[in-house]
Structure 1
Amino acid sequence: MEISLVRRRAVLTLTAAVCAVCAVALVGGCTGGSSEDSGATTQAAPRVTSDLQTDYQTVIRNVLPSVVQIETGSGLASGIVYNNKGHVVTNAHVVGAEKKFRVTVATGEQELGATLVSTFPEQDLAVIQLDKIPAGLKPATFGDSSKVEVGHIVLAMGSPLGLSSSVTQGIVSAVGRTVSESEQGGGTGATIANMVQTSAAINPGNSGGALVNLDSEVIGIPTLAAADPSIGEAAAPGIGFAIPASMVKTVADQIVKDGRVTDSGRAALGITVRTVLDDSYQPSGVAVVSVAKGGAADKAGIRPGDIITKVGSTETLTVTSLAEALAVEKPGGVVAVTYVRDGESVRVEVTLGEV
């Protein structure tokens, strides 16, 4: 099933979580007393704090100080303190085209100035840097994405609708999801592989925040939430997606070191494309509009006008499905590409390039 970030369409859609509501609910057990006809009463049982609740509270104390609120010209979102030099990682769709921001950190209510270091829309990630490093700034600890498993309990932390330091809880619902984000509504159009699906509420404003395990480690950055057209495009409860910590670290480390991403790790054919419709106005393939000289497609003999229908065994009937097929591949890898030229189907082996 293809999932893409598209607003106002009558299909399952994903909406960039840029700014709405969520609150923390840490529930403890408690039993009330009752009165008998005889007039006898029973005392209320003492409140019992469960091990799980204690774990929740410990994680919140450990991680929430590393989650910040970011104010942009278009609204409020979230970020994570990345290191002790004042670098903050967030989503590219949060920063947009802006260069300057106001940031509220957990160590104080006073807003701090911040400046964009670099943005990488292809992975919907960006790094900004605080103009002044406040005392007590606490970097987050990032976990190992390869150890994330379905069923793990997670907490999502961020600033939905400006409600800073809000927390929701859920589980990891799936791993290895590939989803696409529309450019509508402030999205970057990124196709992102290996995302973590979670039942923890991901509301507008949680973008750029933290998805955290019970070891107080950030395992992902909440980025997308499913929307259900049957309930007026409102968020579909329990279907959210986070960029895995491994990709966050890969991108952020390069930006901090070099000021930009120098090794994307993203496979590319070196072409520009558009979706082709058949006589029934249904997507039927991806037409090659232009081919970069010396790129992967050029070296394989693919030319403008060819219509790509498969990458490996995956049908690529739309631009989105082509992007998703490439998102799970690696630069330098060899993959079979099937295309149609002059009515004939052609299959070639392509050594993939890099975005």
Structure 2
Amino acid sequence: MPTDGRERQVPRATAAPAPRWWSHPDGPCGQSFRLPPARPAASAAGQSPARPVRIPRRGYRAPRSAVRQSVRIAVGAVAAVLCAGLLGGCIGALVQGTRQGGRITLQAASEAPVPRSPGTTAGIVRAVLPGVVYLSVNASGTTTTGTGIVLDGAGHILTNNHVVAPLGRAGRTTVTFSTGQRHPAELVGRDVGSDLAVLQVKGVAGLHPLALGSAARIEVGDPVVAIGAPFGLQGTVTSGIVSARDRPLTSGGTNSGAGLAYLDALQTDAPINPGNSGGPLLDAAGTVVGVNTAIRSADSDSSDPFGVTDQSGSIGLGFAIPVDQAMRVAEQLINTGHAGRTVLGATVDLTYQSGAAVTAVASRSGGDSALHPGDVVIALDGAPVTSGDDLAALVRGRSPGATVVLTVLRGGQTRELPMPLHSTERDDGANNL
């Protein structure tokens, strides 16, 4: 205590500046650091009091000038890298362009061809396309198109009658092969009732006949492929399944110049359109099981609902002549120029709509086991018969000499009658079976 009674004033100690080696995020208040001892205050005489030291707080930020300088450095580095890359690309493009006369050509990446097994659709198509031809027919100033199947090395081609004679008379036919080469064809023979015809190209080497199978082995649900030239688009491939067998139908209509045909057809949902006619329907082995012939029209008022004169597109109801029947007719056309009929030996009423009503039968022995006038046929080998047209189509689709089983109504009772089929060269009308 001072002797003069005045209270002695002791200068307050001030904190020392923070050491430069601090790096702890908590600053000088952290537990790992201690403040150094305070320095004595300067004397009041001749010295100014020491300025207080500011201790950094949490979240301390560097001065803006330092931040801006760091950002400028980073941006400059990125810009330098980008400029270097662009410069290198430009130099490379310039060198390459100079090598190619000042132009740059982009090269597609080379890829090895993907192998296709023979059982795939692509494998089947690759194998059979050389045996499918495309037909252009000029008849009475009108040009129509269709498709054909190469049968042998002699140049015989199978197609539809309505393709080669769309107006009832055969026109001039030009064949286009898968190579794009064209050649005129001559008519060997045609058959209105089966809607089949055979052409021939002469002097053509290197033909690729298609392998012929059998529709008898086809089951509903089996996959099939159709090839043709719908609306002139050659080489069009479609696929689907067999939707039904023994589908009796009449093709041609009353207004068709090609005539009325009776078909025991394979039904398929493989899209078939105008121009597919005469082309092959192929099974999974790539063999021909049918000749694409007709489609069901969506126009309920059409006089030709099964596609000979109709020009609408596919609605998933396509029909093909079984190859067994097609080859039997083709052989006759090649050998004799015309084809016979498979007949049952009965006359039916075509206006009756609850089956095929028999009005007369050929004189044969057999008693009750034979067909009688008044019998109504309702099925043939299990295939339903709803009219005389149905029975005509099913009978003509069978081979002469075969025996079929008719299901008939006689006197209110159902009977099963085995009936042999025969061949005739006469065409006595659709009602004479």
Q: 1:269 aligns with which of 335, 338, 345?
A: 345
Q: Is the 8 A contact 1:70 1:101 kept in 2?
A: no
Alignment of 1:116-131 (within 5 A): 116-130=187-201
Q: Which residue of 1 aligns with 2:126?
A: 61
| Residue 250 of structure 1, aligned match among 328, 353, 358 | 328
Q: Of residues 171, 177, 199 in structure 1, which corresponds to 2:269? A: 199
The C-alpha deviation readout for 1:185-204, integer Å capped at 9, x for no partner, is 536432222x3222211111
CA distance in structure 2 between the aligned counterparts of 1:53 and 1:338, rounded to whole angstroms = 46
CA contact (8 A) 1:180 1:189 kept: no
CA distance in 2, matches of 1:138, 1:255: 21
Tell me, yes or no, if the aligned pair for 1:224 and 1:242 is still in contact at 8 Å. Answer: yes
Question: SS state of the match for residue 255, structure 1?
Answer: helix
Query: CA 1:335 to 1:217, structure 2 compared with 1: closer, same or farther past 3 Å?
Result: closer
Q: Is contact 2:271–2:316 with CA below 8 Å preserved after alignment? A: yes
* Paired residues of 2:281 and 2:288 also in contact (CA < 8 A): yes
Preserved CA contact (<8 Å) 1:267 1:329: no
Q: Distance in 1 between matches of 2:222 and 2:371?
A: 46
Whether the 8 Å contact between 2:230 and 2:275 is mirrored in structure 1 is: yes
Evaluate the alpha carbon distance shift between residue 103 and residue 352 of structure 1 in structure 2; reply closer, same or farther with a 3 A threshold. same
Letter paired with 2:175: T
CA-to-partner distance for each residue in 1:100-135, whole Å, 9 max, x for gaps?
Answer: 4322332554532222211222222111112x3323
Judge conservation of contact 1:267–1:330 (CA < 8 Å) in 2: no
CA contact (8 A) 1:100 1:115 kept: no
Query: TM-score, with normalisation over the residues of structure 2?
Result: 0.55
CA drift of 1:351 comes to: 5.8
Aligned pairs for 1:110-189 within 5 A: 110-130=181-201, 132-168=202-238, 170-184=239-253, 186=256, 188-189=259-260
Matched, 1:310 2:388: no
Q: For the Cα contact (< 8 Å) 2:164–2:173, is it kept in 1?
A: no
Q: Pick which of 48-57 and 241-250 moved more.
A: 48-57
Residues in 1 aligned to 2:292 and 2:384: alpha-carbon distance in whole angstroms:
29
Deviation of the 1:91 alpha carbon: 1.2
Aligned residues of 2:228 and 2:235 also touching (Cα < 8 A): yes
Determine helix, strand or coil for the equivalent of 1:323. helix
Residue type of the partner of 1:90?
Answer: T
Whether the 8 Å contact between 2:356 and 2:378 is mirrored in structure 1 is: no
Structure 2 residue ranges without an equivalent (≥5): 1-110, 306-311, 425-433
Q: Determine the structure 1 residue equivalent to 2:176.
A: 105
Does structure 1 retain, via aligned residues, the 8 Å contact 2:136–2:173? yes
Indicate the residue corresponding to 1:87 in structure 2: 156
Q: Which amino acid aligns with 1:58?
A: G
| Kept after mapping to 1: 8 A contact 2:271/2:314 | no
Give the conservation status (yes or no) of the 8 Å contact 2:215–2:324: yes
Corresponding residue of 1:260: 338
Contact persistence 1:178–1:191 (CA under 8 A): no
Which structure shows the bigger proportion of residues in strand conformation? 1
In the alignment, the residues of structure 2 paired with residue 229 and residue 213 of structure 1 have an alpha-carbon distance, to the nearest angstrom, of: 30
**Contact 1:274 / 1:289 at 8 angstroms: preserved in 2?**
no
Equivalent AA in structure 1 for residue 324 of structure 2: S
Contact 1:224 1:241 in 2 (8 A): yes
Q: Which moved more, 1:85-94 or 1:231-240?
A: 231-240
SS at match of 1:254: helix
**Does the CA-based 8 Å contact 1:181-1:188 persist in structure 2?**
no
**What amino acid does structure 1 have at the position aligned with 2:212?**
F
Shift of 1:206: 0.3
Answer yes or no: is the 8 Å Cα contact 1:273–1:290 preserved in 2: no
Q: Which amino acid letter does the alignment assign opposite residue 140 of structure 1? A: L
Q: Contact 1:156/1:210 (CA < 8 Å) preserved in 2?
A: yes
Cα deviation for residue 49 of structure 1 reads 5.2
Aligned pair partner of 1:226 in 296, 303, 320: 296
Percent sequence identity over matched residues?
30
CA distance in 2, matches of 1:351, 1:154: 32
Query: Which residue pairs with 2:287 in the alignment?
Result: 217
* Higher RCO, Cα 8 Å, sep 6+: 1
Deviation at 1:245, TM superposition (A): 1.8
RMSD: 4.2
1:268–1:353 contact (8 Å) kept in structure 2: yes
SS in 2 for 1:253: helix
Higher CA-based Rg? 2
Change (3 A) 1:290 1:160: same
Is the alpha carbon distance of 1:62 and 1:230 closer, same or farther for their aligned partners in structure 2, counting shifts above 3 Å? same
Change (3 A) 1:351 1:47: closer
TM-score by length of 1: 0.66
> Structure 2: how far apart are the matches of 1:154 and 1:351?
32
**Counterpart amino acid of 1:271?**
T
Alignment match, 2:147: 78
Asked whether the 8 Å contact 2:132–2:148 carries over to 1, the reply is yes
Letter in 2 for 1:275: T
SS in 2 for 1:197: strand
Distance 1:66 1:176 in 2: 26
